[in-house]
């Protein structure tokens, strides 16, 4: 069964699929969706942003306390999710091209302090990660089947026809994996 009533503001007919929803709307004199959305004063982005920032005493990171997505703070602006550190940078310094990243000097993904942020490319961000040793490589990678000693053995074994296949069988690897190790495509940090 379907119930209906008229909006108290615009007289538009409102349809209800449940009687209890209709009864509640009549008791509270609830307007239709369109009327309930008009007249709202939007909260400025700056005010919303700063309401989610916790500033410590001293020189530490300003931490985002709002929504988190993938470890990074996130806020919705004009129905679009934007990372909090990008919003912080935009509020302090202006617009950022979509292809440019906002990187952290402090390596804290929840930090929105402007002097801890800088602009860079994806490559700059990866170089920073590698220089600070925040990337798992070699044995520290959870995907590694080999030790560094085994890789040294593979790299230093003399080249001759069929050797990659023999090494692959010996270490339980694919021949292509052995080839990549020997050519320096993978395990670059081992000489």
Q: Structural domain boundaries of the chain?
A: 3-37, 45-131, 138-183
Question: What's CA 15's distance to the chain center, in Å?
Answer: 40
* Angle at the Cα of 139 from the Cα atoms of 138 and 140, rounded to 5 degrees: 90
Radius of gyration (C-alpha) of the chain in whole angstroms? 29
Q: What are 69's strand-pairing partners?
A: 72
* Residues 2-31: tens digit of each pLDDT: 777 888 878 888 777 777 766 777 777 787
> Domain 45-131 classified CATH 3.90.75?
yes
pTM: 0.59
* Residues 29-77: tens digit of each pLDDT: 787 777 777 666 677 889 999 999 999 888 899 999 999 999 999 998 8
Residue indicated by tokens 């170089």 = 127
Q: Are 14 and 5 in contact (CB under 8 A)?
A: yes
């Amino acid at each position: 069964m379907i119930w209906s009533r008229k909006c108290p503001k615009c007289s538009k007919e409102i349809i209800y699929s449940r009687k209890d929803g209709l009864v509640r709307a009549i008791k509270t004199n609830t307007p239709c969706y369109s009327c309930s959305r008009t007249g709202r004063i939007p909260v400025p982005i700056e005010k919303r942003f700063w309401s989610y920032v916790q500033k410590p005493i001293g020189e530490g990171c300003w931490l985002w306390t709002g929504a988190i997505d993938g470890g990074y703070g996130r806020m919705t602006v004009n129905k679009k999710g934007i990372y909090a550190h990008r919003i912080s940078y935009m509020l302090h310094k202006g617009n950022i091209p979509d292809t440019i990243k906002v990187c952290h000097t402090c390596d804290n993904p929840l930090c929105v302090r402007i002097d801890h942020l800088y602009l860079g490319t994806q490559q700059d961000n990866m170089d920073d990660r590698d220089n600070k040793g925040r990337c798992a490589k070699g044995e520290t990678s959870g995907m590694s089947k080999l030790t560094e000693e085994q890789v040294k053995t593979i790299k230093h074994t003399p080249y001759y026809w069929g050797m990659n296949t023999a090494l692959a069988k010996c270490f339980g690897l694919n021949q292509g994996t052995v080839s990549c190790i020997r050519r320096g495509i993978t395990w670059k940090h081992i000489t």
